[in-house]
């Protein structure tokens, strides 16, 4: 039987892995936006396209839904 602490450790490891992957995807998408709009800073594009629409960068699932819609 898994203890609550062990389960939390497992969940944190999974979340951290997914968080890294999500941030990599958002960085990739931001780099594509920078290539399309070279005069606009990456931070501004990331804020406009993802952060403000998702509510915050802490809300990775919402940001990924936005990103998914861009690739659909």
pLDDT in tens, 23-57: 899 999 999 999 999 999 999 999 999 888 877 65
The residues spanned by each domain of the chain are: 25-72
Which residue would you say has higher pLDDT here, 22 or 65? 22
Q: Which residues contact 36 (CB under 8 A, 6 or more apart)?
A: none
Q: Which residue has the higher pLDDT, 27 or 67?
A: 27
pTM for the model: 0.72
* pLDDT at res. 24: 95
Q: What per-residue confidence (pLDDT) applies to 2?
A: 84
33 vs 9 pLDDT, higher one? 33
């Amino acid at each position: 039987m898994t203890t609550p602490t062990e389960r939390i450790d497992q969940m944190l490891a999974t979340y951290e892995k997914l968080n890294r992957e999500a941030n990599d995807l958002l960085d990739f998408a931001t780099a594509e936006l920078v290539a399309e709009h070279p005069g606009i800073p990456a931070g501004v594009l990331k804020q406009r396209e993802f952060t403000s629409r998702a509510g915050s960068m802490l809300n990775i699932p919402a940001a990924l839904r936005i990103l998914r819609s861009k690739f659909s």
